[in-house]
Amino acid sequence: AQSVTQLDSHVSVSEGTPVLLRCNYSSSYSPSLFWYVQHPNKGLQLLLKYTSAATLVKGINGFEAEFKKSETSFHLTKPSAHMSDAAEYFCVVTRNQAGTALIFGKGTTLSVSS
């Protein structure tokens, strides 16, 4: 069965320092993986998507993620945090190869201090 585990429920960083949000996945087939971000009282916005092309995926707002099959990981990184990055981040895997449903991790809340 497909699943994702976000290893940290809360991450705090200072503005200008690197961001690392960790995600491990379990999949019985070659998965599609996503990172979505949700700002307070807003819907979900797609940050980036992995679909078996390049293992290093670049997304919006300077975020990127690396797919590591040997470690079953898909960690999200950003070289330098900005105050506007404060939000909740979700690591997501498709439930089946048809991509019918998304399975969400529990989310990681990112706090950015000045």
Q: Least distance in Å: CB of 109 to another protein?
A: 12
**Residue 35 within binding range of another protein, rule CB under 8 A:** no
> Which residues, including other chains, have CB under 8 Å from residue 9's CB and lie 6 or more apart?
106, 107, 108, 109
Q: How many residues of this chain interact with another protein, rule: CB under 8 A? A: 24
Dihedral angle at the C-alpha atoms of 102, 46, 48, 66, nearest 10 degrees? -60
Q: What are the distances in angstroms from CA 96 to CA 33, 65, 90, 103?
A: 12, 21, 18, 10
Shortest CB 38 distance to another protein, Å: 9
Site for another protein in 59-98 (CB under 8 A): 90, 94-95, 97-98
Question: Per CB under 8 A, does 58 bind another protein?
Answer: no
Q: Least Å distance between CB 27 and another protein? A: 13
Task: Give me the residues that bind another protein (CB under 8 A), please.
Answer: 32, 34, 36, 42-46, 49, 51, 90, 94-95, 97-107
